[in-house]
């Protein structure tokens, strides 16, 4: 039976895989479609993906104890190429964190400062699950945006992932 740390490692590895699936599906799509406002939380496909990456970077920085100076957004990643390169730069950092994660850590609480300046505390396992579910939620928005724009969305369900479960 897998341990909690193995389950969380797998969920975070799935997150990397699913992010890759989405980014790969965008290659060759018109830049104007990727930037078109679809009326969703972060406007466009690019805006939503920039939010996913920014949030993943924010959480990893908190977990590592190295706070970001600002929450990355679409202004930081104005093109698909720059966004994809930034994801590629980020994934090894997340993978390193995953490799260093230990069962003992998951039993404890994690304290961070929110983007509003509030000190918050939650079980570390809940924070890691939040990172996974937050990205999954917004990838679902990207899938809907792509369909709204007349493009196919790639399969990113956990059941489609070929990693170890």
Residue 25, CB half-sphere, CA atoms under 13 Å: how many?
A: 22
Confidence at residue 162, expressed as pLDDT on a 0 to 100 scale: 85
Alpha helices in the chain (DSSP H): 4-26, 31-35, 45-64, 80-100, 103-106, 124-148
Strands (E), the chain: 109-113, 119-123
Confidence at residue 69, expressed as pLDDT on a 0 to 100 scale: 83
pLDDT tens readout for residues 83-127? 999 999 999 999 999 999 998 999 999 999 998 999 999 999 999
pTM for this model (two decimals): 0.94
Higher pLDDT, 2 or 24: 24
pLDDT tens readout for residues 33-87? 999 999 988 999 999 999 999 999 999 999 999 988 888 899 999 899 999 999 9
Confidence at residue 23, expressed as pLDDT on a 0 to 100 scale: 97
Residue 38, CB half-sphere, CA atoms under 13 Å: how many?
A: 22
What the chain holds in terms of domains, given with CATH numbers, is 4-101+111-154 (1.20.120.450)
Number of C-beta neighbours around residue 41 at 10 A: 11
Find out whether 80 and 30 touch, Cβ atoms under 8 Å.
Answer: no
Confidence at residue 15, expressed as pLDDT on a 0 to 100 scale: 96
Alpha helices in 65-116 (DSSP H): 80-100, 103-106
């Amino acid at each position: 039976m897998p341990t909690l740390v193995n389950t969380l490692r797998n969920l975070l590895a799935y997150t990397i895989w699913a992010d890759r699936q989405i980014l790969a599906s965008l290659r060759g799509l018109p830049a104007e479609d990727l930037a078109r406002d679809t009326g969703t939380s972060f406007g466009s496909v690019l805006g939503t993906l920039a939010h996913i990456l920014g949030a993943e970077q924010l959480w990893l920085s908190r977990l590592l104890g190295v706070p970001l100076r600002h929450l990355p957004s679409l202004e930081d990643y104005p093109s698909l190429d720059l966004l994809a390169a930034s994801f590629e730069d980020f994934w090894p950092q997340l993978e390193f964190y995953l490799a260093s994660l230990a069962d003992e850590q998951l039993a404890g609480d994690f304290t961070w400062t929110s983007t509003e300046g509030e000190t918050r505390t939650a079980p570390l396992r809940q924070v890691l699950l939040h990172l996974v579910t937050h990205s999954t939620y917004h990838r679902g928005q990207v899938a809907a945006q792509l369909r709204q724009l007349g493009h196919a969305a790639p399969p990113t369900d956990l059941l489609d992932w070929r990693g170890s479960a």
